[in-house]
Structure 1
């Protein structure tokens, strides 16, 4: 009985790894892995507060915030890693770094890439993509008295994929990026404490260049 059990366990330990390897190879043959790394610019206009408190004697008094508008050019880097569900559609996870002036956000998003139109097998492809997720502040550093929090991020784009002979492809994408972030300022250096809260909705046009492996 013991010999039978030992032989059974030995057989499972030898057969299962080879079976799992075959399943793994078969899965990635049907659903190949894909990496898309892109660098981009974020173009838009920002409204920011010039001040929202003034002092009367020793006490800070709240007033109506004053704003100014400025054109902004920000930069973004992201990498998409996933699998092809079929020849046209890939799903995966997008990790990026977005710079908004002194603020650096790290969005983590669920992403989808879809080949929309291709006239010939080796010709350029009209590509659509969508990323939806949440931006963290993992790599951001705040000044003393300030606290930055991330928020939802949504980024639909459309562009072109230019296939290469080795199976990789160059990409150029145009789209829209919405990023929400909040800022809190606390004054605690004197007896007259106050707190200021601001929510910013970054709306940017996106131009991204990248490569698919």
Structure 2
């Protein structure tokens, strides 16, 4: 599934350059904190503050609507994920410099930045997963209308996984079905995580 998503995203981005020559290109880059909760050793929850940098690039399908691809980096406790998602941006132009806008991003986040560690007996690695993120905000055009500044609040639901695998020859028990085990492993322990975050974003759009 994720290979298909990356292939479709590459195909879409390859076609944007031609449309950009017709002034249909739209780009928005946003940065800001992600606020959420994280469970600590005594099963209580602490506030977590993480970091998000994302860039949306696409084409205008109508004067106030754009669809495209979102790429970025999101930091979470002990893991960094790189989202790639299909997105939509909609603006309600009212003839003034300041107007409301909304956005939705739906896709997958990769754990490419996380190192895979291994020794003679075991191997540990991370994987990303599904992500969903709607947002609402305001856009203020520059005086010459060549760019705009954006401020928004958003929500992000992000899945991630940690795997601890025992290699062949080190035991005989399996935590998941033998047919599902990667080659060379006799057992794999899986931990799954769901990050729910409030996003506060500042950005610039062209």
TM-score, scaled to structure 1 = 0.71
| Alpha-carbon distance, 1:141 to partner | 2.2
Partner in structure 1 of residue 80 of structure 2? 104
Please give the alpha-carbon distance, in whole angstroms, between the structure 2 residues aligned to 1:47 and 1:134: 24
Partner in structure 1 of residue 124 of structure 2? 146
**Structure 1 range deviating more: 36-45 or 190-199:** 190-199
Please give the alpha-carbon distance, in whole angstroms, between the structure 1 residues aligned to 2:152 and 2:115: 30
Partner in structure 2 of residue 179 of structure 1? 158
**Matched-pair contact (CA < 8 Å) for 2:114–2:125:** no
Please give the alpha-carbon distance, in whole angstroms, between the structure 2 residues aligned to 1:137 and 1:45: 21
* CA 1:115–1:208: 2 relative to 1, 3 Å: same
Cα distance per residue 1:154-205 (max 9 Å; x no partner): 00000000100232000011010000011112366x9568643211010000
Please give the alpha-carbon distance, in whole angstroms, between the structure 1 residues aligned to 2:74 and 2:55: 12
| Alpha-carbon distance, 1:115 to partner | 0.7
Task: List gaps (5 residues or longer) in structure 2.
Answer: 1-17, 174-186
C-alpha RMSD over aligned residues: 2.4
Task: List gaps (5 residues or longer) in structure 1.
Answer: 1-23, 51-65
Please give the alpha-carbon distance, in whole angstroms, between the structure 2 residues aligned to 1:129 and 1:170: 15
Larger-gyration structure (1/2): 1
Partner in structure 2 of residue 201 of structure 1? 194
| Alpha-carbon distance, 1:71 to partner | 1.4
Partner in structure 1 of residue 31 of structure 2? 39
Cα distance per residue 1:21-72 (max 9 Å; x no partner): xxx68x853x611111111211000236x5xxxxxxxxxxxxxxx7452211
**Displaced runs of 4 or more, over 6 A:** none
Please give the alpha-carbon distance, in whole angstroms, between the structure 1 residues aligned to 2:117 and 2:50: 20
Please give the alpha-carbon distance, in whole angstroms, between the structure 2 residues aligned to 1:84 and 1:104: 31
- Aligned partner (choices 90, 93, 112) of residue 69 of structure 2: 93
**Matched-pair contact (CA < 8 Å) for 2:50–2:76:** yes
Partner in structure 1 of residue 100 of structure 2? 126
| Alpha-carbon distance, 1:143 to partner | 4.7
The number of equivalent residue pairs is 169
Cα distance per residue 1:63-90 (max 9 Å; x no partner): xxx7452211010111111111111101
